[in-house]
């Protein structure tokens, strides 16, 4: 089967995507510098699939090493590019590190695509490009709004870099997936999310709080203009998200794109408030979530969820896994890594 290069393939979303690729019999080469993941993730992937993907410890910002990858593995047919730094708050403290890591890695890959006549790229973008949209659910045609963080800005600039490069090189092909809020873990609990330090995202904080590692969950604001006052997001199961990458790669390989650069919203099409997440987690797991309401978190948007019609129709993909099963999988993973019963 075709060889697919997965940068950031030992990370959270990358590892779940590698599992789906291997199960579809693709040959997978992971390139990751392990800056935010561990080599044990490859063992988890192998436990699930029975196949060990190739693994190369490479910084995608090092152009010569990226070239060497393409010399070593001939005939890579597509790249799925996950490798990036992703912590919004950290990006405010360390903007240059974020711009360098997230943009140089992308530019190196685009250069190598030209050089090795390797036409396909699937890029990890984010709903953060929409900011607070004027209309909900948000479609792919909504305007990109000025980013509130250097991290978000790297995604906007990356999309522009891809667009400009593909205009100049119509033989290249790319597709950006704008993820909403990925959560949950593989149902086997052999892989999942491994946040470093105190989790900033809601669901990892909830699972660690319930595991007794953190204090109470702080709910950031209940005075938003939403039915229960808490902010609304579109939480998508990471396995559903991983599967979107398979159809994206297959669309590129089959030459089915409508133009050589396309973008799609990857969400469930349904918004959930913070309090709904807490209630659904409690229902799905039988565990109690202790929480308190505190002030809003600066920079948070009030509400956003995806219009997924375009992705559903064009990609023939939709998110299937329920929020309850997703939150149960997040808890099963937390219990597994903390060795809880």
Binding footprint of ligand WQD on the chain (CB under 6 A): 86, 88, 126, 128, 152, 181, 200-202, 205, 217-220, 231, 233, 274, 297, 300
27 binds ligand NAD (CB under 6 A): no
Is the distance from CB of 192 to CB of 15 less than 8 angstroms? no
Dist CA 202 CA 219 (whole Å)? 9
Stretch of 57-65, 138-146, 276-284, 304-312 lying at the interface with ligand NAD (CB under 6 A):
57-65
CB of 182 to ligand NAD, least distance (A): 5
Given candidates 4, 11, 191, 217, which one binds ligand NAD under the rule CB under 6 A? 11
Tokens of 123: 């890029």
Tokens of 317: 């993909």
Q: How many residues does the chain have?
A: 341
280 binds ligand NAD (CB under 6 A): no
94 binds ligand NAD (CB under 6 A): no
Does 151 qualify as catalytic in the annotation? yes
Q: Which is nearer to ligand WQD, 86 or 173 (CB)?
A: 86
CB of 8 to ligand NAD, least distance (A): 3
Stretch of 82-90, 129-137, 168-176, 320-328 lying at the interface with ligand NAD (CB under 6 A):
82-90
- Give the largest Cα separation in the chain, rounded: 56
Dist CA 129 CA 117 (whole Å)? 30
179 binds ligand NAD (CB under 6 A): yes
Kindly give the interhelix angle for 12-23 and 40-49, rounded to the nearest 10 degrees.
Answer: 30
- Neighbouring CB atoms inside 10 A of 168's CB total 8
What distances in angstroms separate CA 285 from CA 88, 216, 223, 312, one per listed residue? 29, 17, 28, 30
Catalytic residues: 151
């Amino acid at each position: 089967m075709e060889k697919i290069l997965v940068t950031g393939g030992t990370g959270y979303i990358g590892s779940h995507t590698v599992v789906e690729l291997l199960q579809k019999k693709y040959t997978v080469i992971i390139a990751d510098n392990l800056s935010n993941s561990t080599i044990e993730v490859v063992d988890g992937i192998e436990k699930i699939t029975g196949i060990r993907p190739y693994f190369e410890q490479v910084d995608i910002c090092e152009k010569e090493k990226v070239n060497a990858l393409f010399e070593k593995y001939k005939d890579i047919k597509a790249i799925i590019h996950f490798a990036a730094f992703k912590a919004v708050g950290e990006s405010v403290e360390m903007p240059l590190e974020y711009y360098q890591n997230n943009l140089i890695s992308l530019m190196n890959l685009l250069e190598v695509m030209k050089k090795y006549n390797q036409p396909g790229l699937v890029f990890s973008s984010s709903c953060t490009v929409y900011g607070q949209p004027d209309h909900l659910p948000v479609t792919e045609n909504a305007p990109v709004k000025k980013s509130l963080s250097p991290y978000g800005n790297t995604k906007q600039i990356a999309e522009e870099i891809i667009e400009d490069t593909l205009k100049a090189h119509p033989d290249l092909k790319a597709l950006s997936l704008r993820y909403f809020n990925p959560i949950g873990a593989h149902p086997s609990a052999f892989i999942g999310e491994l946040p470093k330090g105190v989790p900033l995202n809601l669901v990892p904080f909830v699972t660690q709080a319930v595991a007794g590692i953190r204090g109470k969950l702080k709910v950031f604001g209940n005075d938003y203009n939403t039915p229960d006052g808490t902010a609304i997001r579109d939480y998508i199961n990471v396995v559903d998200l991983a599967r979107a990458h398979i159809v994206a790669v297959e669309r590129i390989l089959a030459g089915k794109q409508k133009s050589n650069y396309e973008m799609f919203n990857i969400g469930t099409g349904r918004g959930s408030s913070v309090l709904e997440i807490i209630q659904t987690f409690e229902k799905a797991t039988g565990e109690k979530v202790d929480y308190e309401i505190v002030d809003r978190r600066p920079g948070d948007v009030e509400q956003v969820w995806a219009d997924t019609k375009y992705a559903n129709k064009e990609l023939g993909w939709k998110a299937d896994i329920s929020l309850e099963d997703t939150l149960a999988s997040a808890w099963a993973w937390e219990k597994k890594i903390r060795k809880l019963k």
